[in-house]
Structure 1
Amino acid sequence: MKKLLYITANPKGLEKSKGLQIGESFLDAFREESPDVEIKKFDLFTLDFAQMDADLVSARGKLAGYGYTLDQLSEVEREKIVKMHALADEFITYDYFVFVSPMWNLSSPAVLKAFLDNLFISGKTFEHTPTGPKGLLSNKKAIHIQTRGGQYTGTPMQEMESGDRYLKIALHFLGIEVLDTVIAEGFDLNPQKVPEILAMAKEKAKAAAKELAKYPIAVRL
């Protein structure tokens, strides 16, 4: 059975978050197209995952460059690195990924970057080669649904957006193919047009869901 991981980074909840409402429209359309795909949700504001603190950085360095074994790490280092690998191991089992996040201060909520940090594991999600790093998560597809209060597309502000760009860079690095982002913007600039912007974004999300569902994914043995 194919699997989709739906990852959200918005603490507002469905009733208040426009992005999550757009995301639900995406899921409804995807389920209609691919009812046999298993869907799991990660709310990054409630998910328990390892943070890149001093202990985790130390554990990674010891295992990667200094020849330590897992048993030679301190108890807290071992606990955090095991949690990190467990999350990456689960992430790898999915075929499709949907990220839903708002644009905060030119980027994404920090919790999204913290989550992605757990996925960069040499030998598991990417490998070093003579010609540079190579992502190991090929034959997987992802899409980002992003809401913005301002208007960035087609304006001088476009180059200042870094949340969507970083997510695409990170996923491409891991070998994942990323579809065009579903962007809903201008909510704060045009309060009177919020219903219209939201409705248009939901239609874009539904179309994107149908496109994602068409991509063939190899059956895991």
Structure 2
Amino acid sequence: MTVLFVNACLRGEESHTLKLCREYLEGREDVKEVNLAELKLEPYYAGPVAFRAQLEANNRFDDPLFDLAKDFAEADEIVIGAPYWDLSFPAALKIYVEHVCAMGITFHYTEQGACEGLCKAGRLTYITTCGGRVEGMNFGYEYFCGIAKMFGIPETRFVAAENLDVVGNDNEASMAAARQQIAKLRAEG
């Protein structure tokens, strides 16, 4: 089983989110990490979009431009590590999604016009930390629930350590609660 870890923890090793992700992935030898801070992907503009669409239309998926999409489609599990920024996640993660959203690799359309996912993953686990609470405004996770559905990934799971910027909050207790969630998910498999 291969796990694809999409690391959108742009603060590096100082990131509380990254610490939780490392705990979730601890002991796994089959992890491939995509570090978005190192990749520094560019958004797609008109020229590259047209080029990619031409390659997709001709089933020319051997171009390195599709490598990220292939890794995403072939993984057995996807782990997204992203801090809660501006009601969702860092922009680098959205740009990454643009790169993996490749028709013919992660999804396609049926003759009836229905979107059908092509990803192998059985689940997507979304891990985050936030300064306040995400209650009622969990737009980052909700976005990935939609992406998972589009890509054919049947299960999504969520872990968060909340209130880390709230004055007087016991941050260790918040992290411990998230670690309990992680332990439960690891036990479930």
TM bracket, shorter-chain basis? 0.7 to 0.9
* Structure 1 residues 84 and 51: CA distance shift in structure 2, 3 A: farther
* Structure 1 residues 187 and 89: CA distance shift in structure 2, 3 A: same
Name the counterpart of 2:18. Answer: 20
Highest Rg: 1 or 2?
Answer: 1
Question: Are the aligned partners of 1:96 and 1:142 in contact in 2 as well (CA < 8 Å)?
Answer: yes
Name the counterpart of 2:44. Answer: 52
Aligned counterpart in structure 1 of residue 115 of structure 2, from 112, 133, 137: 133
> Over the residues paired in the alignment, what is the CA RMSD in angstroms?
2.4
* Structure 1 residues 60 and 146: CA distance shift in structure 2, 3 A: same
What is the percent sequence identity of the aligned residues? 26
* Structure 1 residues 48 and 93: CA distance shift in structure 2, 3 A: farther
1:84 positional shift: 2.6
Query: TM-score of the superposition, structure 2-length normalised?
Result: 0.87
Name the counterpart of 2:133. Answer: 151
Query: TM-score of the superposition, structure 1-length normalised?
Result: 0.75
Equivalent AA in structure 2 for residue 9 of structure 1: A
Residue 95 (structure 2) pairs with residue 96 (structure 1): no
Question: Are the aligned partners of 1:120 and 1:126 in contact in 2 as well (CA < 8 Å)?
Answer: yes
Residue 124 of structure 1 aligns to a residue whose secondary structure is coil
* Higher RCO (C-alpha under 8 Å, 6+ residues apart): 1
| Structure 2: stretches of 5+ with no match in the other structure | none
How many residue pairs match? The answer is: 188
| Structure 1: stretches of 5+ with no match in the other structure | 71-80, 214-221
1:131 positional shift: 5.1
Output the CA distance in 1 between the equivalents of 2:41 and 2:63: 10
Output the CA distance in 1 between the equivalents of 2:108 and 2:175: 41
Name the counterpart of 1:175. Answer: 152
Aligned counterpart in structure 2 of residue 185 of structure 1, from 155, 162, 177: 162
* Structure 1 residues 8 and 58: CA distance shift in structure 2, 3 A: same
Output the CA distance in 2 between the equivalents of 1:190 and 1:209: 31
